Amino acid sequence: MFLRLGASALLLSLALAAPAAETPASVTVSYAQGAANAYGRASAAAATLAQALSHFSQQPTAEGLAAAKTAWIAAHQAYSPTEVYRFNNGPIDHAETGPETKINAWPLDEQWVDATVDAPASGLINQAGLTLTPEALLEWNEKDGEKNIATGFHAIEFLLWGQDRDPQGPGQRPLTDFTTAPQAARRRQYLTIAGNLLVTHLQQVQAAWAEAPGTYRQALVQGDPQEGVRQALNGMLMLAGDELSGERIAVAWETQDQEEEQNCFSDTTHLAIQGNLAGIRAVWAGPLEALVASKDSAIAGRVSQRLVAAEAAAAAIPAPFDAAIQGGNDAPGRRAVLATIEALESLAEEIVVAAKTVGVELEFGCNPNNAIIGCGELLADLPAVVAAVKARDAAAATAAFASVNGRWLRLESALRTVDPILYKTTESALEGLRIAALRAKTPTAEAVQAKADALAAQITAVAKRLKPE
């Protein structure tokens, strides 16, 4: 009897000690908490940056400039892992309210912000009649073009480092630009305003992920738990398979253009890539990985292996990134960059497979025949955007653009690997339509029609490029 009771007690204690199996609900809770933590760290680092910028603006010394640069690097490193929470029309990149383009938009036209070697009187800094205020910078951000960036990390980066004219190092803006040079006071004022705006916008996203009534987080956690699983996997897929391997790395590798690297002024692009991968790991490791493993441990293992490989490949890219993309294809730097692209694409392919095991359908590298159909569907959706603007129906315009954008998301992975340059120009045309239809103060049907026509021309070129032989 004693032995039987002892055995029963042992089995009971083991059962109680065994961890509960992961469910879509537990994955969603973990995903939401991860987002809250990540944006909390990003907001705190941005606040430290804003303080450093304010201190430097009040006392412009060489030590203060160096401290501001150090704070910028730390803040951007804290932000990079949060990008895995994009791509779901959530708090960061909602088509109408998301502040992502005010936080981390790039590429940046330097001449929109300040003087350059080729245009010594250019930029908002040199517009003497423009009073620098938060409202002014927001109004001028992406005005008349997606490269016309006035706020966020990269506007601050350009002001701190200046143009990167050194192929082996970052920009070297002199301290005198903030002390004795023309518009020195306006540069310092601009830095302070931009730093404070960065904090405001990151705190906006952080608040949406707070565990409180009425937040985005509450709606996600209390809604269909499968949606949280989908968002987690889709963010991983889009960051690895499209944003990183495509727009941020493949285009730069293909063009060998310094302007196509993300952190081109500070030469910290390699850190941003590693930070993005850290974000993917944070979402994958834990409940999500365990959920996939409970369905198919081999598939979960392959995702983990591909992630390790991508991390190793990214760590092997020699800094600075803009030097690594130069030379022939057999140059060590270019081989390292290409290996990272291929590792990210392999990771993306396994994420799609893993998603299927938990009932989530994602697409990467779609069939060209399906892509041709998708091009036609996108073209058919464009008139609805113009019609909504003409009718002054903002809600309808947002919905119509969301449909166009959804078509593009299903097309871009097919194009990105086939023609990175056409991919980039088409994405720029799509962004132009978004700005004209949703971001302009007073959208006009004429302006939106022009942007729609430009996008239609790009999509027609995409269809021809992807047409099966």
- Distant-in-sequence, close-in-space partners of 311: CB < 8 Å, separation ≥ 6: 274, 277, 281
Measured CA to CA, the distance from residue 46 to residue 427 in angstroms comes to 29
Q: Is 24-220's fold the same as 368-466's?
A: no
Measured CA to CA, the distance from residue 109 to residue 113 in angstroms comes to 7
Instruction: Report the CATH fold assignment for 24-220.
Output: A middle domain of Talin 1 (1.20.1420)
Q: What percent of the chain stands above pLDDT 70?
A: 92
Segment among 68-77, 343-352, 370-379 with least mean pLDDT = 370-379
pLDDT at 469: 53
Rounded to the nearest 5 percent, the helix, strand and coil shares of the chain are: 70, 0, 30
The counts of H helices and E strands in the chain are 20, 0
* Averaged pLDDT, 25-44: 98
pLDDT at 364: 66
Per-residue pLDDT reduced to its tens digit, 122-151: 999 999 899 999 999 999 999 988 899 999
Query: Could you tell me the CA-to-CA distances from 159 to 13, 71, 119, 446 in Å, in that order?
Result: 62, 14, 15, 35
Per-residue pLDDT reduced to its tens digit, 161-199: 999 988 889 999 999 999 999 999 999 999 999 999 999
Q: For residues 276 and 83, is the Cβ–Cβ distance under 8 A?
A: yes
The pLDDT of residue 11 is above 70 = no
Instruction: Report the CATH fold assignment for 368-466.
Output: Four Helix Bundle (Hemerythrin (Met), subunit A) (1.20.120)
Burial (0-12, 13-18, 19+ Cβ within 10 Å), 396? middle
The pLDDT of residue 217 is above 90 = yes
The pLDDT of residue 157 is above 60 = yes
The pLDDT of residue 16 is above 70 = no
More confident residue, 10 or 447: 447
Annotate 21-65 with DSSP letters as a single string: PP-HHHHHHHHHHHHHHHHHHHHHHHHHHHHHHHHHHHS--HHHH
* Averaged pLDDT, 439-461: 89
Measured CA to CA, the distance from residue 88 to residue 247 in angstroms comes to 18
Q: What percent of the chain stands above pLDDT 90?
A: 69
The pLDDT of residue 363 is above 60 = yes
Q: Where are the domains of the chain?
A: 24-220, 226-357, 368-466
Per-residue pLDDT reduced to its tens digit, 83-110: 999 999 999 999 889 999 999 999 899 9
Arithmetic mean of pLDDT over the chain: 90
Measured CA to CA, the distance from residue 95 to residue 406 in angstroms comes to 11
In the structure, what pLDDT confidence band is assigned to residue 1 with cuts at 50, 70 and 90? very low
The pLDDT of residue 5 is above 70 = no
φ and ψ of 21, to 5 deg: -65, 140
- Distant-in-sequence, close-in-space partners of 134: CB < 8 Å, separation ≥ 6: 193, 196, 197
pLDDT at 366: 46
Measured CA to CA, the distance from residue 377 to residue 345 in angstroms comes to 26
* pTM for this predicted structure: 0.80
Q: For residues 296 and 141, is the Cβ–Cβ distance under 8 A?
A: no
